[in-house]
A and B are shown apart, each in its own frame.
Chain A
């Protein structure tokens, strides 16, 4: 199980690139004493990123994905349990895709 030198170099470069992006945001946020407005912007980032992560799948993935998403949100709001909401989504999307294939 030898490790090729060029492969190792590629991995090291990837580590440097990805760590630069991981540490960079925190470094920038620490660097400046942020105004209240910048603070409001930081507050808005998590929701905006999460919505961006799911929107293409949920809105353009098809009816199975869209309906499963509704089921997930319903269970998440009613139960407050992330694992239960996830299980609901996985089961719902399998059932709905099977159904979609039958129709």
Chain B
């Protein structure tokens, strides 16, 4: 059997408005929860001393929930700029792996489209895009469409949260903290190919649980992803 990667190098890749709209539509259910997280972030940013405009500006351009929540926790006067940049870099390291996984399809797009699209790459729209590619669909605008919707919702809800801070209750009370987990689980179920997945996924689960227990922050995603994907290569018996 040919590797999927080899096949991907030969299939045509499109970048259409239809693909972008499909990507945005796929992100709608996730964004119900995303909106609440944005309200919470806006509230915290307001409490940390950012104006609503500043908080919204950060959400629009940084567009990374994980990094922004951690950075708001560091927010103090004078601003610890080095710690802020380092935190953002470390939290973003998983993007390196995610971007590499887009490579086989995205390397066949014009450069501007590819590099503009990854500006809007977040966990959720990346995961949905990989699910699309896994089904054999090859419209690369799916990532950008989902990302633009997410950025819009994230920015608007941050602004509202920072303006009317304190209006949001604990998202866990409504189960909304579990919405992302549920989407990721459903995508995992769709990616199941058979016994060859058992070893890499078990390794990823074990390493991420251990790393989440012993290491601070978000290292568990990167370490679990690295360990699991390497186990996947070993499993192929090269």
Residues of A within 8 A of B (CB): 1-4, 6-11, 13-15, 17-30, 34, 36-37, 39-60, 65, 68-69, 72-73, 75-77, 80, 82-83, 85-94, 97
Question: DSSP class of B's interface residues: helix, strand, loop or mixed?
Answer: helix
Which of chain B's residues 96-110 have a Cβ closer than 8 Å to chain A? 96-104, 106-107
Instruction: Return the chain A residue nearest B52 by Cβ.
Output: A1
- With both beta carbons as reference points, the residue of chain A lying nearest to B212 in the complex is identified as A56
Query: Scoring B residues 17 to 54 as 1 if CB is less than 8 Å from chain A, else 0, what string do you get?
Result: 00000000010111001000000000000000011111
Contact of A55 with B209 at beta-carbon distance under 8 Å, contacts A22-B95, A47-B200 already known: yes
Answer whether A89 and B185 are a contact pair too, CB < 8 Å, given A11-B58, A56-B209: yes
Interface residues, chain B, CB within 8 Å of chain A?
Answer: 3-6, 26, 28-30, 33, 50-54, 57-58, 61-64, 67-68, 71, 78-79, 81, 84-85, 88-89, 92-104, 106-107, 114-115, 118-119, 121, 123, 127-128, 130, 134, 172, 174-176, 178-191, 197, 200-201, 203-205, 207-209, 212-213, 220-233, 236, 238
Q: Which of A10, A25, A93 touches B99 (beta carbons < 8 Å)? A: A25
Q: Give the residues in chain B near A24, CB-CB below 8 Å.
A: 95-96, 99
Ordered by A's residue number, 14 sampled pairs between the chains whose C-beta atoms are within 8 Å are A2-B53, A14-B84, A18-B62, A21-B93, A22-B121, A24-B95, A26-B99, A28-B103, A36-B5, A42-B100, A51-B201, A52-B220, A89-B175, A89-B182
